[in-house]
Amino acid sequence: MDTKMENVHYDHKNWIYRIGELLLVFLPAFLFIKLTSPWVGEDLIRGNGVVWIANLLMLAMIWTSLKLRGQSWKEFGLTFNRLSLRQGLRFFGQSLVVFAFGISCFIIGAVIMANITGIPESADFSKYDFLKDNLGGLLLSLLGVYFISSFAEEVIYRAFLINRIVEIVQSLKYSKVIAVILSSIFFGLIHYEWGAMGMVQTGFMGLAMGISYFVLKKRLWVLITAHIYMDTLLFVQIYLASN
């Protein structure tokens, strides 16, 4: 009886610890963004700076949690091994497939919302006017987005969040399915500034990336590279629209 009670107490403590770990990663960044929002206003540069700092804060907290667990980035599938030519070609092919899957789900989200709410008005690109005839600005923006979005979002919302949710619900039969669905919902919600259409689109994209994460056995760099393709496509479209 005592042993059973100790095990229950131990599991309960682990559950509390894991919830606390999620809060320590996301809550400070969320509060930082909310507290600085009056200062940011409509300023795109300030807004990107705040997101940079928030993502750096979350990455630092994730790194700290890994160290406290005695783990490394490898736990999430973020390895730094040199690839052979054959492995590189396979990597490139996988990234293209994930890219196509992600874009397809993004479009599916748009179609679903269009049937529910109707086709929205054309997007407002006025805050990207600085890109007009500014190829250098486009390239610098892409470099920033590759870190803020492509790299950080895959580490935070796919690798970290999915793995931690799996740990929390590991006693359930479909823990991985639950983790992918919850992470995709959360990923959609953090894009609230994109409106309802944008949240559903990014949520569906997150669903595709979460599925790919497990199908590819946590090869996180493949997802990051596919995300780079998506962000490049998005910003090139914005650049062309601004011109």
Domain count, the chain: 2
Q: Is the pLDDT of residue 33 over 60?
A: yes
State which of 27, 48, 71 marks the end of a domain. 71
pTM, two decimal places: 0.88
Share of the chain above pLDDT 90, in %: 58
pLDDT at 7: 43
Same domain, 118 and 230: yes
State which of 37, 71, 105 marks the end of a domain. 71
Helix, strand counts (H, E) of the chain = 9, 0
Q: Is the pLDDT of residue 121 over 80?
A: no
Is 76 inside a domain boundary? no
Q: Is the pLDDT of residue 169 over 50?
A: yes
Structural domain for 59, as ranges: 1-71
10 confidence band (pLDDT: 50, 70, 90)? very low
Q: Which residues neighbour 8 within 8 Å (Cβ) at sequence distance 6 or greater? A: none
pLDDT at 110: 92
Token duo for residue 38: 């009056």
Q: Is the pLDDT of residue 62 over 80?
A: yes
Looking at residues 9-22, what average pLDDT do you find? 69
